[in-house]
Amino acid sequence: MTNKILLSKAGVSFMLLFIFSAFILFSCEVHIESGVGDDLPSWNEGTTKQSIIDFVKQVTDENNPNYVKPADRVATFDNDGTLWAEKPMYFQLYFLLQQVKDQAKNHPEWREQQPFKAVLEDDRETMKTFQVSDLLNLALASHSGMTQEEFEATVRAFITTAKHPEKNVLLTELVYQPMLELLDYLMDHNFKVFIVSGGGIDFIRAFSEEVYDIPRENVIGTAIQTDFIQEGEKSYLKRFPMIVPPIDDKEGKPVNLHRFIGRRPILAFGNSDGDIQMLQYTDDREGASLCLILHHDDADREWAYDRQSKIGHLDKGLEEAGSRGWTVVSMKNDFKKVFPSE
């Protein structure tokens, strides 16, 4: 009888503890599982996927000679053509053209002045002849004159509605699913992930958190000058039409990497010759590193281009990848899925 009561009491406690423990164990289980399952389901099995997984295993294993402490686990990604598509032209250019049209009413002189005239008249032939300097003029004129907050609101209005001219989906749907998984995978392993783009820093920051889960302070890009203005109880930064050097491309990427982050990345991912210096700077660090180049070789699912392309030009980068042993990621062979909606 005594035993029975004891059992009964023990039984209740046992049940409660069992439920409680099972709950805790279950929570742990979920956590452990995430390390065991396939973190990169949209990557095809093969040497590319394996080289990424092996690298992450090595740098996160304290007993491995290639171990890198979390503070130093910096990974940097180019944006256009690396995280999202860039064809038929950089997506920011659609925004730029929209901005020029929207602001034209305040600039009657643009109607007679190139490169603005061609944009306002939708004169495709002239637009095809635009040089980088023309685009820069358009960008500076249309991206300035407002406060940072006003500019961000304009980008957000654009990015939440603008559709791709060929694919007829939102531009933000043309991010690469395997890259989203890679960003997550690295962050899950305590990497600090940064975007390092030739594009506008404030343009990308307006959607980086929603689209990539990358906080805006981890976005590096080409910036334009601002003035601090204080008016009574209101203060703001006003954008004015001058680039903050360097343009965040080619040699500018390592310069800004140091300025913004203060250490060399251990992993860098690009897709064009504009990314070579970032990859060199990463490759030349003391200790382990992984350098990757996304090769656009999938005309069926995306676009196929490299040496002959003006946008996303990739020529020396392929040579350098060969001689230095960088990982060339084939969109055709390594991506099981390209876009999230596929």
Count of residues that interact with its own copies, criterion CB under 8 A: 49
Q: Is 190 in the site for its own copies (CB under 8 A)?
A: no
Q: Is 3 in the site for its own copies (CB under 8 A)?
A: yes
Burial 306-336, CB ≥16 within 10 A → b, else e:
beebeebbbeebeebbeeeebbbbebbebbe
User: CA geometry: angle at 84 spanning 194 and 248, to 5°?
Assistant: 50
Q: What length is written for the chain?
A: 342
**How many CB atoms are located within 10 Å of the residue 168 CB?**
8
Shortest separation between residue 97's beta carbon and its own copies, angstroms? 25
Q: Which of 76, 92, 154, 226 touches its own copies (CB under 8 A)?
A: 226
Burial class (CB in 10 A: 0-12, 13-18, 19+), 30: exposed
Q: Is 244 in the site for its own copies (CB under 8 A)?
A: yes
Q: Is 7 in the site for its own copies (CB under 8 A)?
A: yes
Q: Is 273 in the site for its own copies (CB under 8 A)?
A: no
Dihedral angle of Cα 316, 317, 319, 322, to the nearest 10 degrees: 170
Q: Is 240 in the site for its own copies (CB under 8 A)?
A: no
Of 285, 335, 337, nearest to 324 by C-alpha is 285
Smaller CB distance to its own copies: residue 74 or 159?
Answer: 74
Binding mask 63-102 for its own copies (x = CB under 8 A): --------x--x----------------------------
Q: Is 235 in the site for its own copies (CB under 8 A)?
A: yes
Shortest separation between residue 7's beta carbon and its own copies, angstroms? 5
State the helix-helix crossing angle for 47-60 and 177-188, rounded to 10 degrees.
20
Q: Which of 263, 301, 307, 316 touches its own copies (CB under 8 A)?
A: 263
Smaller CB distance to its own copies: residue 72 or 134?
Answer: 72
